[in-house]
Amino acid sequence: MKLPKINEKIVKQIGRFAPLITLVVVFVASIFIGYPHFLQGQNMVNILRQISYTGIIALGTTFVIVAGGIDLSVGAMTAMVGGIVIVVLNLFGEASMLGVGVAMLAGVAAGGLAGAFNGLIVTKGRIAPIIVTLGTMSIFRSLVIYAGSAGEFRSVNSLFPTVGAGSVLGLPVPIIVFVLLAVLLHLLFNNTAFGRFVCAIGANERVALYSAVNINRVKMITYIIGGVTVGITSVLWASRLNSVNSSNMGLFYELDAITAVVIGGTAMSGGFGSIWRTVLGCLTLGIINNMLNMVGVSSYLQGAVKGAVIIGAVLLQYRRPK
């Protein structure tokens, strides 16, 4: 007796909502595993705050990956930009709000320039993105370690911590920034010609070229967007700690960002993805990390779990909806 074939439309609908289904399954499992602590309000806020930092980077990484690229330098870039933020901040003294504003702008600008540097080498040098960003990852980390003498950049500004550690209506600032940025980038991705060009290049670069799409310019902008999101995270994280550790700030951020993007169903080969899926991927990853901590899994093994999640998600992408 032959089993009935599953309707292709149903399969596509399941694939379309797979990130949401995954999030619900992980959330329900965490309720049972972490009961009664998991559902406490403070734990929920902590999860959202923790995912905000790498989640902001993941939003920018989505553009890069959908366009067929990759950026392995975002973690080292976070540390380098964070160091720049502290250095600029300290130029203005102990209690200067002007210094805080200038340092924040400097961080975002430095992130954008670092992203543009990656994009320039990828587009003009015609080198594989994985090779370029592997190289710049080493460059950025080495520069910040050298500048900081393998130690910390410490802020002398007493007002700076109010930015990253502050809250609005009971919600930490990083969460609000993450949500607002997600909405803004969702609109950019889904409601502009640029977003369509990003998908077209990732799907088939040659066809996009024949359609008069400026391939190099679009790719460059995706890396700049990725760099700007790194700059925002650097500002928020440096503000929360009022310091930057040159050796370990941003360590493995690239793994968290890529994992969140892949869990959200974005194709590693490019051409398909969305911002809201990445947000769901960030939430899923945050809950998984929280659950692993609750059951006492060693932090040294959590990277293995993330690696396995990436491999599993990529293996399932052959069923993704077109």
Identify the residue whose tokens are 């049972």. Answer: 32
Helices (H), the chain: 8-16, 18-33, 41-66, 74-90, 97-124, 129-147, 161-164, 173-190, 193-203, 205-210, 215-241, 253-263, 275-294, 299-315
Q: What is the mean pLDDT of the chain?
A: 88
**Residue 1: predicted pLDDT:** 46
What is the pLDDT confidence band of residue 102, given thresholds at 50, 70 and 90? very high
**Residue 317: predicted pLDDT:** 58
Identify the residue whose tokens are 């802020």. Answer: 155
Q: What is the pLDDT of residues 222-266, one digit of tens each?
A: 999 999 999 999 999 999 989 999 989 998 899 899 989 988 888
Q: What is the pLDDT of residues 149-193, one digit of tens each?
A: 888 999 998 889 988 887 788 889 999 999 999 999 999 999 999
Whether pLDDT at 10 is above 70: no
Region 58-75: mean pLDDT is 95
Buried-state track 123-135, b at ≥16 Cβ within 10 A, e below 16: beeeeebeebbee
What is the pLDDT confidence band of residue 47, given thresholds at 50, 70 and 90? very high
Region 257-284: mean pLDDT is 90
SS3 of 289-308: HHHHHHCCCCHHHHHHHHHH
Whether pLDDT at 322 is above 90: no
| CA 77 from centre of chain | 12
| CA 17 from centre of chain | 21
Q: What is the pLDDT of residues 69-87, one digit of tens each?
A: 999 999 999 999 999 999 9
**Residue 166: predicted pLDDT:** 79
What is the pLDDT confidence band of residue 13, given thresholds at 50, 70 and 90? low
**Residue 321: predicted pLDDT:** 47
State whether residue 153 is helix, strand or coil: strand
Instruction: Select the more confidently predicted residue: 54 or 297.
Output: 54
Enumerate domains of the chain plus CATH numbers.
45-312 (1.10.3470)
Most confident of 50-54, 93-97, 158-162: 50-54
Q: Are 53 and 236 in contact (CB under 8 A)?
A: yes
Q: Name the least confident of 11-15, 44-48, 245-249, 264-268.
A: 11-15
**Residue 39: predicted pLDDT:** 85
Residue of 6, 57, 22 lying closest to 313 (CA atoms):
22
Whether pLDDT at 215 is above 90: yes
pLDDT above 90: percentage of residues in the chain = 57
Q: What is the pLDDT of residues 107-143, one digit of tens each?
A: 999 999 999 999 999 999 999 999 999 999 999 999 9
| CA 210 from centre of chain | 31
